[in-house]
Amino acid sequence: MTPWKAALTVYKNPKMLTMLILGFFSGLPLLLIFSTLSFWLTDCNISKTAIGAFALVRLPYSFKFLWAPYVDRIDLPVIGHLGRRRSWALVFQTGLMLSLLALIRTNPAETPLLTAGFAVAVAFFSASQDIVFDAFRIESFSTNDQGAASATFVTGYRIGMLASGAGALYMSVYLSWTAVYTLLAVSGLIGMATILFVKEPLKITRPRGHFFKEAVIAPIKDFLSRDGWFLILLFIMLYKLCETTLGTMTAPFYTELGFSRAQIATVAKIYGVLATIVGGIAGGALVVRFGIMKSLVVCGILQGLSNLPFAYLATQGDSMLWLSISVISDNMASGMATSAFVAYMSFLCNTAYTATQYALLSSIMALPRDLLSSGSGWLADRMSWPTFFITTSLFSLPGLFLLFLLHRKFRTPEKQ
C-alpha cells in the first residue's frame, strides 16, 4: 500500500489549482437552486411540499448527456480558436450569469412558473458548464491522479457552495435576496477570466465518421460493452441516494427547530462545508492508498450512518451541540464518498468520449436526486422528523449491496 505521506504529495501538482478554481464555479450555482433557493422560498411562505417539488428544476443535471455529444465534438465559431473546452465553458458561464440575474428578479409567490423557468435555465447552464469542466479534469490527469484531482475539484466545489450557502445566508441578513444573487452571479466573471488563462487540455484524436454515430452511438456502445454495465448504472443511481434525499429538507427542518439564519449559516454552511472539504481530501487520499472499490465501501457505510444524528437532533430542539455533530459528521462522510465516487466514474470513462460518457454517468447519478428528492417534502409532511432521517439512512443499503455484487462478479477498478 502507498504510504499516506506519498499519497498526499499528489496535491502538489500545479494543475490542482486550476481544478480548485473550476470546482468553485461548478459548485457555486447548485445551492442557488437548492437549499439557498429553499430559504428564499420559505421567506416567501411557500409550502414544504412545493419547496420539495422545486427540486424538479434541477432536472437538466439528469439529462445533460443529451447535449454532451455536441459539446464533446463541435468546435464553436468565432471563439473556437480558444479550444473546444475553453470556448464552450465561456458560453455556458455567460448564460449561467444572465439566468441567475433573471431568476432573482421574479416573484415565486405570484409567478411560480416563471421562477421555476429561470431556475431551470440556471440548472441547464450549470449542468452544461459541468460537462466541460469534467472533461477538462479527466483529460488533464493520469488515472493514478484522478482521485486527487477529483478531491481537489470537490474541494473547490464545496468552497463554491460555502459562498452560495453560508455566504448567501449571511448576506441576506443585511441585503435583499436580489442583491445577494446579483453579487454571486457577477462573481462568475472571475471564472471566465480563469478559463481565458488556463491551458486547453491535449485534444483527443477521435475516429472520423457520421456525427450521430460517432458522437452519440459510439460512446454509449463503448460503455455498454463493459461487463456488468447494467449493475454499474444502478449503482451510480443509488449510491448517494441517502444524502440527496436528506438535503432537500434541511432548510425547513432547521427552521422548524427554531435555529436562526445566522446559526444555520455558521454551522450548516461554514462548519459543514469545511468538514466536506476535509472529507474530500481524506477521500482522495483514501483512494490513492486503498483503491477505489475499498474506498467506496468505507465511504458508503459512513454516508448512511451520518444521517442518524439528524434523527436525534430532531428530538433535542435547537441544540447547537447536536446541530454541529449532525452537520459535521454528515458533511465529512459526504465529502469522502463524493471523492471516491467521482474517481470511480472518471475511471469508467474512455478518453475518446470523455465529455459524453461522464455526462451520461453523472446524469444517471443526478436523476434519483432530482426525481426522488422532489418527493422528500411529501415524505416529511407525513412522517416525524426522526422517522424521516432514519428512513433516509436506510437508503444507503441498496447502493452498498450493488457495490458488493459488482466487486464479486465483475472486474472493478483498483489502484493503478
pLDDT mean values, one per 10 residues, the chain (416 residues): 52 74 88 79 76 78 82 84 89 95 88 88 93 84 70 82 82 87 92 86 59 72 81 85 72 82 77 84 82 87 90 89 90 87 82 74 72 68 85 87 81 50
Residue 382 is assigned to a structural domain of this protein: yes
Predicted local confidence at residue 416, as pLDDT: 40
Residue 414 is assigned to a structural domain of this protein: no
Exposed e or buried b per residue across 45-73, where buried means at least 16 C-beta atoms within 10 angstroms of its C-beta: ebebeebbbbbbbbbbbbbbbebbbbbbb
Contact 32, 171 (CB under 8 A): no
> What pTM was computed for the model?
0.68
Nearest to 283 by CA among 116, 149, 125, 190: 149
Residue 415 is assigned to a structural domain of this protein: no
Predicted local confidence at residue 65, as pLDDT: 79
Predicted local confidence at residue 93, as pLDDT: 94
Q: What is the CATH number of the domain that holds 124?
A: 1.20.1250.20
Give the number of domains in the chain: 1
Predicted local confidence at residue 121, as pLDDT: 94
Predicted local confidence at residue 12, as pLDDT: 64
Nearest to 387 by CA among 323, 317, 306, 307: 307
Predicted local confidence at residue 415, as pLDDT: 44
Give the domain range for residue 346: 4-409
Residue 317 is assigned to a structural domain of this protein: yes
For the beta carbon of residue 3, count every other beta carbon within 10 angstroms. Answer: 9
